[in-house]
Structure 1
Amino acid sequence: MAATPHVLFAGGGSASHLFPGMAVAEHLRRIMPNALVTFAGTGAARERHTVRIAGHHYSTIPTHPMPRNPLQAVRFVTDNVAGYCAARWMLREQRVSLVVGLGGSTSVAVVRAAVARGIPVVLLEQNAVPGRTTRWLSRAAAMVCAAFEEVRPHLHVQAPVTVTGNPCRTVFEDLYKRTAGQAASVRAGLAVTAGGSMGGATATGPKRQHRLVILGGSGGARSLNESIPAALKRLGDRLHDWQIVHQTGDGQLQETESRYAKLGMKALAVTHIDEIASVLFASDVVVSRASGTTLAELALAGVPALLVPFPLAADNHQTANAKVYTAASACRMVDETQQTGALDAALARELESLITDHHLRTEMGRNMQKLARPQAASQIAGAIADQLCGGSITGLMAA
């Protein structure tokens, strides 16, 4: 192993790709403080800023996603050839020891270049249906860290797959550990009360207002932003003691605020929620898309959800993700592509029971938290460190 191992996390373009890599990188630095960590991505300003604030290096690789029309085909070819060549040069010049593929077009270019140069590769797969990088290059990887067991049938039987769960941001891990400890204390207190030695004790605190959170995504989920206000209006007085927090994403705040105002509804609409972890841990119901990263964070928070998968997601992977969670009775789902009427009516039907039935929410919250994998990031970081130190990862793969 080099005196200063250099780990390159390749991918991004969306929060669902970037945040798992950031979580693993933070744990890796705890294990190997001398390691150099670099992220390679699309060069988007928000992505660059997020990485650099965390103290990591950032490099831009010129790539282009799969073309949606013939006019994009030429740029797809030229950008990705340029990206592959840039990745080969960077891997050599910066003496990269190991590449972690996060998904996205940048990941494809860098991982392919790493395989060509004989550099070890670890792939993170956040969804129940694997992305192109995982499908094409999984057999050449040292390890494929999957969030879902359901990913296996989509890959070659010899692909080195380990189901680790999805790595979550450290703030979610910390809040999960804290709330798990508090829950244990409450259970112990209730047991003492039942035994009669602390008959005056109570485990309940002051009643708080219920909270419904709508996550429009960093890029904005337009169909949710357009339909949710009307759906909530249909629920009428059943929301009288609920706080509504609506994250609209970029460029859709004013339109969403206007919809609530026209319907005479009180809601806190914001472009982004900075303290998203603390907000979700203190929420009762969430409405969101169904990216693997979002679902993993909801599981740690133990909050029931109404999922509305993005209908244009590659290989319909968000619907596949949502089906895993609905099968576990942890959430409800509305499939936009199957709606014959207005989307707001379908959303209102599913939300009504979640809003009005406390016992249903409690049970779904328990089921949601059963799906939590709080050790995912540390487990993957440990496997990377093992690989860098020249050890074997077979022990982890057998676990």
Structure 2
Amino acid sequence: MKQKVYYIVGGGTSGHVNPALSIAESIQDREPNSKIVFFVTKDGVEYEMIKKVGFPYQVIEASRLPNSAKKIFSFIKSSCFGYRDCIRILHADRPSVVIGTGGFVCAPLLLAAMRLKIPYIIHEQNAFPGKANRFFAKKAKAVCISFNSSKKHFKNVSNIRLTGNPVRKIFFEMQSEEARRRLNISSEKFIVLIMGGSLGANSINKAILDLFESNMWQELKTEFPELMLIMSTGNRNYADLKNILAAYENEDFLINSYLDTTLWLPASDLYIGRSGASACFEAAATSTPAIFIPYAIAADNHQLFNAKSFADRNAARLIEEKDFDAKILFEQIKHLIENRQVLFNMSKQAKRLAKPDAASKIVDIVEEIISFM
């Protein structure tokens, strides 16, 4: 039997990469002898993530749409080189199917697949689909979506399948008790995990800074000694914040540029942070109650749509970035520690939104497409 070859592409942010990795894991589980190759850009977040996991990868050129006329030539040059290289690679090693999970890095490979009539599918993580996926949906063999509300944004596209957002198996498998044991944290602690996404978030970081400098944190700790705050700043602001907040660090307040969410999410009683699709569905997978603060200038405001989908089902709380500050943070933490039943109900609703079989459903669709080729 001829070896099946899968090309997978998605990047720009970790929210596009994590679903791609989950799909690859599902293919590998089902077809251990298949060949899986990721397509990445050298400077993209996907490069380091794929390299770390160990899947084979192919580096190509790709650029996001420029926001100024000065960058048009560079964009055209990069796009042409990327497209040319993808045509060459697809000719040499014709894959069974191409899978795109969004981001500008998809464009050269999916355009080449269209040109050579190689079947491809796309997966859209967000409630409001991105530009690349809206464009490529028209010729895709299938468009897999995470939120049912996404359907209306794909105009004149009929082959839409609701699969949910693929989340790595570890998020479903890791239990709170085991995560805390590995992190050496007492079961008595009430852990608040605050994250700003892979690049960090100035508004969230500022709220934390003000929480400490105004003594509101000390007030919370006096009333709730079991409270523990874990903060991930993102790489951009880590050094400055670490220096400013160093005086407050102790066993109940830890600050890092990056945290292993496969442990910290299931270990936490409350997640506060951005509402990219991966963050939403990873919190759902671990049944972690969440307060989402959507990134206000995210493309097409997709984080607001994601957060609203969860908040409308009482699986999370939604606070817009313009309204979020230290006082709101203080009030929310205090209210939820005092009202554990509210947290319990949020956790229960979040679990209902989790889709443990999302990656498997997508692989089913891929196999269905291959069987008709």
Please report the TM-score for the alignment, with normalisation by the length of structure 2. Answer: 0.89
User: How big is the shift at 1:268?
Assistant: 0.5
CA contact (8 A) 2:62 2:107 kept: no
Instruction: Report which of the two structures shows the higher radius of gyration computed on alpha carbons.
Output: 1
Q: Does 1:273 align with 2:273?
A: no
2:216 to 227, 230, 234: 234
Task: Report deviation, 1:347.
Answer: 3.0
Deviation at 1:334, TM superposition (A): 1.6
Name which of 208, 211, 230 aligns with 2:191.
Answer: 211
**Structure 1 residues without counterparts, runs of 5 or longer:** 180-205, 392-399
Say how many residue pairs are matched.
360
Q: Specify whether residues 367 and 58 from structure 1 end up closer, same or farther in structure 2 by C-alpha distance, changes over 3 A only.
A: same
Unaligned runs of 5+ in 2: 179-185
Alignment of 1:1-399 (within 5 A): 3-44=2-43, 47-175=46-174, 207-231=187-211, 233-234=215-216, 236=219, 237-261=222-246, 267-274=253-260, 276-337=261-322, 339=323, 343-390=325-372
How large is the RMSD of aligned CA atoms in angstroms?
2.4
Q: CA deviation at 1:46?
A: 5.6
TM-score (norm 1): 0.84
Give the secondary-structure state (helix, strand or coil) at the position aligned to 1:165.
coil
Deviations 1:270-294 (A, max 9, x none): 11113x2222112100111000011
Pick which of 26-35 and 381-390 moved more: 381-390
Q: Is the 8 A contact 1:98 1:121 kept in 2?
A: yes
In structure 2, the residue matched to 1:397 is none
Question: Which residue is 2:181 aligned to?
Answer: none
Cα offset, 1:308, TM superposition: 0.8
Deviation at 1:96, TM superposition (A): 1.9
- SS of the residue 2:95 aligns to: coil
Q: CA deviation at 1:357?
A: 1.5
Deviations 1:36-60 (A, max 9, x none): 1011122237633432443421112
Alpha-carbon distance in structure 1 between the residues aligned to 2:236 and 2:193: 19
**What is the CA-CA distance between 1:355 and the residue it aligns to?**
3.0
- Counterpart of 2:91, as a letter, is R
| Residue identity matched to 1:44 | D
Q: Are the counterparts in 1 of residues 10 and 46 from structure 2 also a CA contact under 8 Å?
A: no
Cα distance in 2, alignment partners of residues 295 and 23 from structure 1 = 15
Residue 238 of structure 1 contacts residue 356 of structure 1 at CA under 8 Å; is this kept in 2? no
CA gap 1:85/1:178 in 2 versus in 1, 3 angstroms: farther
Cα deviation for residue 83 of structure 1 reads 1.7
Distance 1:67-1:348 versus aligned 2 partners, 3 A rule: farther
Identity %: 26
- Partner Cα distance (1:3, 1:111) in 2: 23
Q: State the alpha-carbon separation in 2 of the partners of residues 177 and 117 from structure 1.
A: 48
Give the deviation of 1:382 after TM superposition: 2.2
Tell me the secondary structure at the aligned position of residue 105 of structure 1: coil
Change (3 A) 1:82 1:22: same
